[in-house]
Amino acid sequence: MTSNQPLLCSKGSADTSSNGSLPPLRRGSFSCLCHTASHSSSHFDSSASDFEDTHSNFADSVVSGSRFQSADSQYFQGIFECPSQKMVTEPNKLLDVVNKSSLEISGPAVYISHEKRSSVSGIEKSISQRTRHRSLEANEFLSSEENSRLIYINDPRRTNDKYEFTGNEIRTSKYTVITFLPKNLFIQFHRLAYLYFLAIAALNQLPPLAVFGRTVSLFPLLFVLFVTAIKDGYEDWRRHRSDRKENNKEAEVLQGGSFHSEKWKKIRAGEVLRILEDHTIPCDMVLLKTSDPSGIAYVQTMNLDGESNLKTRYARQETTMVDFKSDAVSGLIRCEQPNRNIYEFTAAMELEGQKIPLGQSNIVLRGCQLKNTKWVEGVVVYAGQETKAMLNSAISPSKRSKLEGYMNRETLWLSVFLFIMCAVVAIGMGLWLKNHKHELDTVPYYRRRYFTNGANYGKNYNYYGLPLEIFFSFLSSVIVFQIMIPISLYISMELVRLGQSYFMIGDRRMYDGNSDSRFQCRSLNINEDLGQVRYIFSDKTGTLTENKMEFCKASIYGKNYSGGTYVMDRSTHDTSDTHLDKIDISEAKEIHRWKTKAEIKIDAELVSLLQKGLVGEERKAAHEYFLTLAACNTVIPIITQNAASENGASVVDEVVDYQGESPDEQALVSAACAYGYTLTERTSGHLVIDIHGERLRLDVLGLHEFDSIRKRMSVIVRFPDNSVKVLVKGADNSILSILAKSSDRTGSNGVLCSGIRNATQNHLNEYSLQGLRTLVIAAKDITEVELDEWQCSYAEASTSINDRPAKLRQTAALIESNLNLLGATGIEDKLQEGVPETIESLRQAGIRVWVLTGDKQETAISIGLSCKLLTHDMHQIIINGTSEEECKNLLADAKTKYRIKTAGWAKDVNRNRSIHGDHLETHDGSVSSSIGIVENELQSSRFSKSTKDPPEEQSTRVAATKKTSLALIIDGTSLVHILAKDLENELFDLAISCEVVICCRVAPLQKAGVVDLIKSRTNDLTLAIGDGANDVSMIQMADVGVGISGQEGRQAVMASDFAMGQFRFLKRLLLVHGHWNYQRVGYLVLYNFYRNAVYILYTAFSTTSALTDWSSVFYSVIYTSVPTIIVGIFDKNLSHKTLLEYPKLYRAGHRQESYNSRLFWLTMIDTVWQSLVLFYVPFLVYRIGPIDIWSIGSLWTIAVVVLVNVHLAMDIHRWVFLTHAATWGSILITFVCLVILDSFPSFPNYWTIYHLVKSPTYWLTILLITILALLPRFLLKVLKQTFWPSDIQIAREAEKFRKPPYYVAESESRQPA
């Protein structure tokens, strides 16, 4: 190892492997473009040019550790039997190596500087502090294991009696029969409105304040609580049913020397289980033995992470031959405490005097299914709620819609108005009592004293004096006017959102046939937010691209190979296209041909090179290149044979299906197979590669998996001639820094190596510009001395429980140095279908799309161009700073060059937007077009009223006036310094002035930091979309989180609010369903405020009600609630074709056209007018006639129901049968209920309706109320739509009068949403 090579060491979550096994590669794989990639500081020199590539490391919350492991039992003893001289010299050597280099590590909110020194273990605890990573000493191994868990193998009593571990029974339900009522009520009363109505009901129970019946006053609140409780109870019952089904499954448990069936819920830690093929694993267990003699088992983790590929797990060779049925066998496992990391496991087993390291490859987790393995036996280490699956079952954080926040603000204003009204009534009552204090005993309609003979004669009759009368009048008014705060609105919104979600899920146009995934609504609280999104933060790999890799280009020994044709198979005896090395079929008795399921593009020139003998440096480099592709991975080959006969010879087609945890690995191994290097067998100790018909067996001595610190993977193999090599692949900035220096080579060799390196770097840049994912391939011969040195270091590091990953990285650094460069690979990750069109539509809709990726900068820029996110006429601002000062200067220079004005606070940004549409002003007074369009949004997105002037033409005219757009490209290293310093505001000013922002090489928590940068400084709604575990923090941080059901598991889906199969569905989700949902819910809220407020009638300073108690209750629950819910689910102001054709219509949500403070107050003014008309028309008509208060109350009830329903009918855009039935049916139901209520002699309104309906005046009064109340609204609506039409109105007119073919089809569609 050279003295100037960096040693990659960092504190991370435990992740280790075991000797004698090949652990599967962590999802995300070894590509330099890995989402969770962290970046190391590295420097390397070239004789041709000085090259420096510096990157800071990002300490993710979960860091995958690298690991070495022995491969065969014959080498296992060599690992742990260290020569004495090595034990003496090893610490000093390793310490000397470590002290020669150091590593900077930083996270999203931490920069580890050179001024401060602290332990790496403090990274997670000091996320907001500036610390320095001190050099780790090689002899600093585990000295204390107090936090480890002890599991006694096949001794559950001893294991559980001492430590009291949880049982295997799981519980996902919230409630029990006893706790349901109090717990559910406690959760529901977190809504302050419910507490308000509870206080109102409590006041009504007091005798002086009993305005309504005491029982009736409780009915609205009890109804809402009851409906919600039924919904919660049903959901929890389903959880109980699922839990019972899960807990009562059976598994075989070792008891008394034999296996017996036992229910899952009775399984305990320490017990030994036997699991059969296709059965589900009941708990987390360490494998002891399998049906395969080598200890291999295959599991499918679909239920855990959504991945369908088979994973390999291994039982240690030391345990496969042990008979655990014997009582004489005893063992102890020391493992880490339960945690949520499903990709890491750190433990050590003590068995018959041996200390055996255990890693993630030796444990199978609850929820996995056993495949292609007859049986496995294992010991339970985590059970029940402590299993990794259950610890990861936490739901996404609760989110509240932006519109609901505005609704609460208006509710507060209504409360203020309510109390003002009550104060006016109370003061008016006090003044009236004071002015008539001498007449209170004589007025006919007021009673102060008892006049009847008896004990109470002369005493006050419910009269408590003037002050208390005023106070009681105030409280009584609060009770009477309580309906102004619409309690029914909450239940209506939940039902409307539920209906909207049902139709979104059922939308066939958002169904992905490739992955067989439907749209999912995982959150019902934020449907309307989909119509107001301004920023979209998207991952790249698997979100914009398919995450299906194809090997396209190879750089070998400085030469680029990029041509070729697609092939499906490569025969081991026939080179097909090249016709080289053919065999006469008539002489062959059996021919074997290898086939892969993937189409691979091969280069004929490269095939010709590989068919030559191993002569020449170029041919040897090509051989080692493809040997590395075939061997340096964790892919498992699954082979099926198909026999046939050709010309009398038996032809065996052997189809190889490669199963791996990473699409990158599968693509590389398939490419090696296409070029004649077919991986045919992999066990825990060796692998077999078929090289043009010849079997090559390689003994695997060690494997370093890819991790986000090292960013590379290596495997140590022993060849049949007993030579040992290390084969390495990884990110360019990781591999190039540990290559052998050209100065170490003499003469022409040094010049040649320098030329190869420069050529390879040029190829890497070329591949990146084409949007390809790149890897560098290298190898090195290892001497026996170096191998022994590694074995001694690994022996101690692999058995450590504490800080094992960092110690294993030290071990890896011993051999991952002075490598010989072989070449590089270029893998294409194709764009998903419809991505460019979707992004273009979103941009026209006024939505900014930011891409946050772990890829190289060149790759991200290339993908940005191909998906039309970037255009060639954009000015690209590239921020690649390596220090705080450099980042500060780059940001300042960019702002000065493009005259970007400081936005200041969020309210300044929003105010500028309200004035200029969706852009900011620059210093010269011009408008920066990079945020949106130059003209005011209200004008730029508006259609021409002429049918011959479509929106596209207006868009063209607007674009012609725009200045050149800006695009910001920034890397993760710069974000480390910016997000951890006082540069966030500078970045914010620059970013919002750019039309496009691409963040490269970012860690998961940095993605969340970028989202928070916008979310915390503006009122704009943010949406994050991704498909992998590295996107979870970003998804949870955004206002709306969308998960893609892709190739990287279901972590993103589990954490999301909505889930879909393709990125292109986002266009329909936002532009169609988002627009509909926002328009519906916005109108629902305004209408509910109006409907309840109009019911407050003029009272003349008294709290006397002309309405019966039941009429007041039924008004919000029965009379008027159903129409609003139906309209909220089914109404559509525009067809989906129009909304998709004209994306600018989406900007109505940005302008808050469906709900804003102005609309609220206009609605309240209209409500006051309608309330006055509703009171005074009947009052004036019947003021002289012989009619009592209950009769006029019945008239008011009918009139107000007719009024609000006709009001609703005026605003309905799309009439369907259910809309007609709900609107007019509610009026009919009101009549029926009034007839029923007026038929009870005990009610004061007995028989009043029967008298009223006989009079023509009654019907004319209702008609007059409706006309006078709605006339101002109707006239203003006509004027506005005629002279100041909105975009929506113009589009509706165009849709109606043009009547294109899709209009008819839309009306016949069964999909209302």
Residues known to be catalytic: 539
What's the number of CA atoms in the CB half-sphere (13 Å) around residue 122?
A: 15
**How many Å separate Cα 322 from the centre of its chain?**
45
How many whole angstroms separate alpha carbon 930 and alpha carbon 947?
30
CB-CB contact of 692 with 676 (8 Å): yes
Q: Are strands 272-276 and 354-358 parallel, antiparallel or unpaired?
A: unpaired
DSSP 1180-1212: HHSSSSS--HHHHHHHHHHHHHHHHHHHHHHH-
Q: How far apart are CA 5 and CA 102, in angstroms?
A: 9
Rounded to 10 degrees, the C-alpha dihedral 138/141/147/150 comes to 130
By the 8 A CB rule, do 109 and 124 touch?
no
**Contact (CB, 8 A) for 303 and 339:** no
CB 132 within 8 A of CB 112: yes
Max Cα–Cα distance, the chain, nearest Å = 132
Q: Yes or no: say if 15 and 353 are a contact pair by the CB < 8 Å rule.
A: no
Sheet containing strand 636-646, edge to edge, reads 565-571, 590-602, 649-659, 636-646
Query: Backbone phi, then psi, for 585, in 5-degree steps?
Result: -65, -35
| Phi, psi for residue 144 in degrees, rounded to 5 | -135, 135
Element (H, E) at 793: helix 784-797
Q: Is 574 helix (H, G, I), strand (E, B) or coil?
A: coil
1172 touches 1116 (CB < 8 A):
no
Beta pairing, strands 772-782 & 724-730:
antiparallel
| Contact between residue 1288 and residue 1148 where contact means Cβ atoms under 8 Å apart | yes
* Contact assessment for residue 1047 and residue 663, using Cβ atoms and an 8 Å cutoff: yes
**617 φ, ψ to 5°?**
-65, -40
Whole-angstrom CA distances from 1077 to 56, 401, 1023, 1128, 1312 are: 44, 12, 16, 8, 12
Distance in Å from the first CA to the final CA of the chain: 65
The contacts found for 509-518 with CB under 8 angstroms, 24 or more apart, are: 509/1065, 509/1068, 510/1060, 510/1061, 510/1065, 510/1068, 510/1069, 511/1061, 512/1045, 512/1060, 512/1061, 512/1062, 512/1065, 514/1061, 515/1045, 515/1046, 515/1061, 517/1045, 517/1059, 517/1060, 517/1061, 518/1061
DSSP three-state, residue 1115: helix
**Tokens coding 771:** 């949007």
Question: Residue 559 is which amino acid?
Answer: K
CA–CA separation, 882 and 588 (whole Å): 63
Enumerate helices (H) and strands (E) in the chain, giving the number of each: 43, 39
Place of tokens 């009269």: 463
Phi/psi at 193 (nearest 5 deg)?
-60, -35
Instruction: Tell me the C-alpha distance between 224 and 492, whole Å.
Output: 10
- All residues at 6 or more sequence positions from 1177 whose CB lies less than 8 Å from its CB, including other chains: 1261, 1264, 1265, 1268
